[in-house]
Amino acid sequence: MSTITHDLTTEILKPGDLEQLAKETSGPCVSILMRTHRKGAETQQGSIRLKNLISEAEKQLKNNDHDPSVLEPIRSLITNADFWQNQQEGLAIFLTPDNGRLFSLNRKLSGSVHVGDAYRLAPLTPDYGAPGDFFVIALTWDEAKLFRSSDGTLTTVETETLPGKYHDFVIPRDPEKSLQNTSHRSGGNAPGTSTAMFHGHGEGEDKVEADRDQYLSLVGEQVAGAVYNSGRPLIIVGTKEMIGKFEATTHVNADAKVEGSPAQWSEHELNERVRESAEESLQESTREFSQRFGTALANSQGSSEPSDVLKAAREGRVESLLINSAMPDDGELNAIVTETLRSGGLVSRSDMDNLGDAKLAAIYRY
């Protein structure tokens, strides 16, 4: 029976979450993936979908002699109208008798249920970026703006705190207090979280430096929540100093960088600059992986043969794994993904032409 005693809250999938999920071994592991909607009457379709998927999960659990009570923590979601009105494009539910996690995703998922010794993680692996559709974070010391580029057009992306001015994130200090903790807008991208500004000790330049680090850290949290696992690359726009500080302060990885001051450019000029950079940098990234894989293959340190890659993954030897998104997501592929993640390997998916008919391409550590 389920021992979960707390309500499950929806999270945004972040770097590191897939590795944590891959290490779950206290089965049975139940994975429920489904399509959701952001707004409109379609939001209520989620309730019906989840009810049907729970029935399927219950059937699979019973067929494998497992207690279906593992599903109890999510049954109440079926009738929770507020829950369905606050979703994105996809929902991933992972349950064991002792643990449960819900993730709201920026990507559409086909409805599926999987019961086994490990979670079904292959559909959640991030896409290897393509230059046609991407995110842009434009940074200055005055403000931060997040955009999405699609079909040649930039549109502003709104999160809990973006777009935002510097002092929206960092409250001016009270000189009479050495430490302040101010709660700013019900923050984060997940229910029940708050974005807090901590003002530490220090004077003059130390104080300014601490505030700037806090500003970039909070912006980074918002960007990570919006971008990660969306299947779209991220381009950072800012001065060389700003980009360097952002990368050093946050855990956000950029696929391309555009140096300059976005405050001095029109939106049209910003769009032109980032598109040019995207085409160059992201295509170069694709070529680089192909070259690395070719070299690894020639030196017997890589493979596109699933059985060989699975053996290497179980031995902890897979450094990078690229799976073909056009191929069926079967049990063998999911096992390869899970084992690679367990040992800290990098996993992504792509429909790149150079994968051809191969299901995957793996580069080994040794």
**pLDDT by residue (tens digit) across 84-134?**
998 888 999 999 999 999 998 878 889 999 999 999 999 998 776 555 578
CATH class of 133-280: alpha beta
**pLDDT by residue (tens digit) across 292-311?**
999 999 999 999 999 999 99
Sequence spans of domains, the chain: 10-124, 133-280, 300-364
CA atoms within 13 A on the CB side of 91: 28
Residue 60 tokens read as 């699979």
**At the fourth CATH level, which superfamily is domain 300-364?**
Ribosomal protein L30/S12 (3.30.1330.30)
- Coil, helix or strand at residue 156: strand
- Coil, helix or strand at residue 126: coil
- Helix (H) or strand (E) holding 349, with range, is strand 346-350
Q: What are phi and psi of 356, to 5 degrees?
A: 55, -130
Strands 195-199 and 302-303: unpaired
**pLDDT by residue (tens digit) across 29-80?**
999 999 999 888 888 899 999 999 999 999 999 999 999 999 999 999 999 9
Alpha helices per DSSP H over the chain: 17-22, 45-63, 72-75, 81-84, 166-169, 204-227, 240-249, 267-298, 306-314, 331-342
- Asked if the domains at 10-124 and 300-364 fall in one CATH topology, the answer is no
Alpha-carbon gap, residue 282 to 280, rounded angstroms: 6
List of residues 6+ apart from 308 with CB closer than 8 A:
none
Round the average pLDDT of the chain to a whole number and report it. Answer: 84
Q: Which residues face 362 on adjacent strands?
A: 303, 321
- CA distances 358 to 241, 325, 350, Å, are 42, 11, 11
Q: How far is CA 176 from the centre of its chain?
A: 41
Whole-prediction pTM value?
0.69
Work out the average pLDDT over 334-344. 96
Q: Just give the CATH number of 10-124.
A: 3.30.960.10
List of residues 6+ apart from 259 with CB closer than 8 A:
238, 239, 240, 243
Alpha-carbon gap, residue 4 to 30, rounded angstroms: 14
Residue 262 tokens read as 């976005």
